Amino acid sequence: MADRIVLNTISYHGAGAIKEIPGEIQRRGYKKVFVCSDPDLVKFGVTAKVTDLLDEAGIDHALYSEIKPNPTIQNVVDGVEAFKAAGADCIVTIGGGSSMDTAKAIGVIINNPEFADVRSLEGVAPTKNHAVFTIAVPTTAGTAAEVTINYVITDVEKVRKFVCVDTNDAPEVAVVDPDMMASMPAGLTAATGMDALTHAIEGYTTKAAWELTDMFHLEAIKLISENLRDSVAEAKEHKGGSGREGMALAQYIAGMGFSNVGLGVDHAMAHTLSAHYDTPHGVACAMLLPIAMEFNKPVVTERLARVAVAMGVDTAGMSVEEAADAAIAAVKQLSEDVNIPKVCEAITEDELDQITRDAMADACFPGNPREATFDDVKDMFRKIMK
Ligand SMILES: NC(=O)c1ccc[n+]([C@@H]2O[C@H](COP(=O)([O-])OP(=O)(O)OC[C@H]3O[C@@H](n4cnc5c(N)ncnc54)[C@H](O)[C@@H]3O)[C@@H](O)[C@H]2O)c1
Ligand SMILES: [Fe+2]
């Protein structure tokens, strides 16, 4: 099969980029915007940074913000009804992965109503029509949902998160403005930044990786290693700066890569932790990252050695094996420097078999470069238990 790259039609980057939004809507003749955001972002005035611009331009809009972190099927179903009730004809989504993923599912269902149950969108769904025209504005620097062809929804009843992969969900326009991320607290900055690093490293070592995605992933790893610590420091001082700017770009570049080749066992296990224990996605990814790298090392030693170089490690004089170990050590150090926890206290011995089965059923699992057995996955979960 041919290699394939899907990206936004247009993306804007840099401080002040949100000023482009009204023009993008007006030039296409849309009349009413469905704004999809979350309650905290509305409360803290982050959503208003964009809706104020819509008001100034005289663009009519309706707000939907019934979205929780790790968004649920119900959030999507309610959103579809709200979209219809609003009489909207386009979407502007403002938020982290949770808001953007919900908006993607809503936009897909509006134009493909046969998938209104949401569950049938899992995996590669055979939707016929592209989602409603969407402009995605990330407020975290991690998921890159503004450029990916994926979205992740939680099935509360079945206690699982499921990944949907569909080229019809890619937002036409992404607006990646570091000012929209400036209010992230330090913990969220760290967790979402480590999610981006996990995308870049898993994407670089996944089965389907190829030259074009390698290019994106290596650059993302370099930029994250250079900027995440500064970004967290800026968060502590409640200010923007070069760290924030670097991370806004880095996470997007990682998304340009992994969206097109998939991930691996880390994300499969992380989705399971979030479904069972509501663990924030980035924290789950980060805790598991050195463990998954160690597991995959025998089949991707050389690639991990190149990760070490991208992370700024001086590998001169090291064997390939030593350089791969140095990459794992660098990831652990970065996690420690930005205060990522090492254990998930909620996991209990009697749930281990169930979460292992769930992780192995996740859509990211087959992309892992090394085949992982039930016992392998269970052992990896054990390593983050108290
Ligand atoms: N679509 C994809 O390709 C993709 C990739 C990775 C993860 N995800 C999914 O994305 C979700 C996680 O998204 P996330 O990590 O971006 O977080 P999130 O969207 O779940 O937000 C987490 C919390 O941070 C707050 N927040 C967001 N931006 C803020 C800001 N600028 N200032 C202050 N608070 C802010 C939100 O209000 C929310 O309470 C998960 O469901 C995950 O599975 C999707
Ligand atoms: Fe992720």
Nearest residue by C-alpha to atom 17 in ligand 1: 96
- How far does residue 321's CA lie from ligand 1's centre (Å)? 35
Nearest residue by C-alpha to atom 7 in ligand 1: 143
pLDDT tens per residue, range 106-160 = 999 999 999 999 999 999 999 999 999 999 999 999 999 999 999 999 999 999 9
Counting atoms of ligand 1 from 1, which one is nearest the CA of 192?
15
At a CB cut-off of 8 Å and minimum separation 6, what does 375 contact?
A: none
35: helix, strand or coil: strand
Cβ 263 under 6 angstroms from ligand 1: no
Provide the whole-model pTM: 0.98
Cβ 46 under 6 angstroms from ligand 1: yes
Cβ 165 under 6 angstroms from ligand 1: no
Q: Which one, of 367, 11, 17, lies nearest residue 181 by Cα?
A: 17
Cβ 136 under 6 angstroms from ligand 1: no
Q: Which one, of 85, 172, 78, lies nearest residue 132 by Cα?
A: 172
- How far does residue 315's CA lie from ligand 1's centre (Å)? 35
- How far does residue 305's CA lie from ligand 1's centre (Å)? 30
Nearest ligand to the CA of 93 is: 1
Strand pairing category for 134-138 and 173-176: parallel
Average pLDDT across the chain, whole number = 97
pLDDT tens per residue, range 172-228 = 999 999 999 999 999 999 999 999 999 999 999 999 999 999 999 999 999 999 999
Cα angle, residue 108 at apex, residues 61 and 252 outer, rounded to 5°: 80
pLDDT at site 145? 98
How many other CB atoms are found less than 10 A from the CB of residue 156? Answer: 12
